[in-house]
Amino acid sequence: MTGVAKELYALIERTVEGLDYELVDVERAGHGLLRVTLDAPAAGGVTVEDCERVSHQLTHLFAVEGVDYDRLEVSSPGVDRRLAKRRDFERFAGAQVQVQLLVPVGGRRRFRGRLLGVAGANGQERVRMELATDDADAAPVAARRMKGRASERKRRAPDELAATPQTIEFALADIGRARLVPVLNFRSGQK
């Protein structure tokens, strides 16, 4: 919801959901561009015809409501879909994600790994993820804590620490940006 008033977002959301789609994002960009991103989870994704249908409906709605824009762009979320709402984190549990936090956890703001899920009451949601072992700046927290303790370092080799999956948890409200990590397989016949 970049640069968009809550009233406009709510207006677009009601319209999009009334057409049986899910609103992913609304963004105001340069040169009067209003970008609407939608999804159709029940249908397995968004088609060009879906975008055309929503664009036609929103164009008429904006004329009636007096919404100021020069160009309207309606699209699917793509393979690197943005995650923002609780239902996004529930739906994509088990998927690979990249998360950037507003406040650091363990001295870091950026994390990549497998989304384990979300739990907690509304406003108190906590997101859990398992960190990727090949994350370049994911030096194991345990290794940093052992710095200076030679006896501990000798007992556990660095490779052993890196192979240990680490789980992290943070508040949904602390997420600045989250996206799916695209997993593309170009080999035919394999999934």
Q: Is the predicted pLDDT of residue 151 greater than 90, yes or no?
A: no
Residue ranges of domains in the chain: 6-75, 86-180
* Burial zone of 83 (CB within 10 Å; 0-12 exposed, 13-18 middle, 19+ buried): buried
Q: Is the whole-model pTM more than 0.75?
A: no
What CA–CA distance (Å, rounded) separates 74 from 51?
Answer: 5
What CA–CA distance (Å, rounded) separates 59 from 62?
Answer: 5
52-109 pLDDT, tens digit each: 999 999 999 999 999 999 999 999 999 999 999 999 999 999 999 999 999 998 899 9
For residues 183 and 96, is the Cβ–Cβ distance under 8 A?
yes
Architecture of the domain defined by 6-75: 2-Layer Sandwich (3.30)
For residues 113 and 131, is the Cβ–Cβ distance under 8 A?
yes
Q: Report CA 104 to chain centroid distance, whole Å.
A: 18
Tell me the pairing of strands 33-39 and 71-75. Answer: parallel
